Chains A and B, each alone.
Chain A
């Protein structure tokens, strides 16, 4: 399949386990954060977002945690399934900036 990045950090998990993907963001002024999933041969797909006035936000099988003190963002995927195999990357921006800053991504692989 197509690779979206060389030497991406890789996380391997067993099917059914929970996955935690981490992201360290760069700008302490950033106040809006997004997680994307990119499968091989496809464009990035929006998963979940969070604003800086929140510490946690939950979606369907996914939870995003934001720690502004250490500029850290994480994506938790519950009960990981084969269809979760993809590259995941975070993006950050400042209100009104109109530009996102993307992380390099983490490749999640699921072991049967």
Chain B
């Protein structure tokens, strides 16, 4: 089975802090994704990556950046955390080599910005 692991289940940070959310997958998947999930808004794509050191903006990239230095690891960075970034953050990975494949998700990080 695909295993997508997010480093923290719950995280509390303060406004203005730099926040790192880490995600690791163990299936040699090419594509990785970061979403946030908010009540009433569903899943929204922040950034994705289809290769090491490659990144693409999703639908709501403002206030975020990402890093993919190794194939198995995709990090989401909140440069200066704000209260409107309080959310559930979900990482996903996808095989990506041929045609469409399902994305597989981690269990999420619930981030609170105070």
Q: Report the contact-size class of chain B (Cβ under 8 Å from the partner).
A: 20 to 34
Task: Decide if A43 touches B90 in the complex (CB within 8 Å).
Answer: yes
Cβ A49 vs Cβ B42 within 8 A: no
Interface check A93, CB cutoff 8 A: yes
Contact (Cβ within 8 A) A34 B102:
yes
Expressed in whole angstroms, the Cα–Cα distance for A45 and B58 within the complex equals 21
**Residue A105 contacts which of B42, B58, B105 (CB distance < 8 angstroms)?**
B42
Whether a CB of chain A sits under 8 angstroms from the CB of B65 is no
Q: A42 with B99: in contact, given A5-B39, A5-B42, A98-B50 (CB under 8 Å)?
A: no
CA–CA, A103 and B37, complex, Å = 12
Nearest chain A CB to B61's CB is how many angstroms away?
A: 13
Are A98 and B31 neighbours in the complex by a CB distance under 8 Å? Answer: yes
Interface residue tally on A, bucketed by range: 20 to 34
Select from chain B the residue with minimum beta-carbon distance to A44: B105
Q: Which of A3-52 contact B (CB under 8 A)?
A: 3-7, 31-32, 34, 36, 41-46, 49, 51
Q: How far is the CB of B30 from chain A (nearest CB, A)?
A: 10
Judge whether B43 is part of the interface by a CB distance below 8 angstroms.
Answer: yes
Cα distance, A42 to B42, chains bound together (Å): 14
A99 interfacial contact with B, CB 8 Å: yes
A100: Cβ under 8 A from any B Cβ: yes
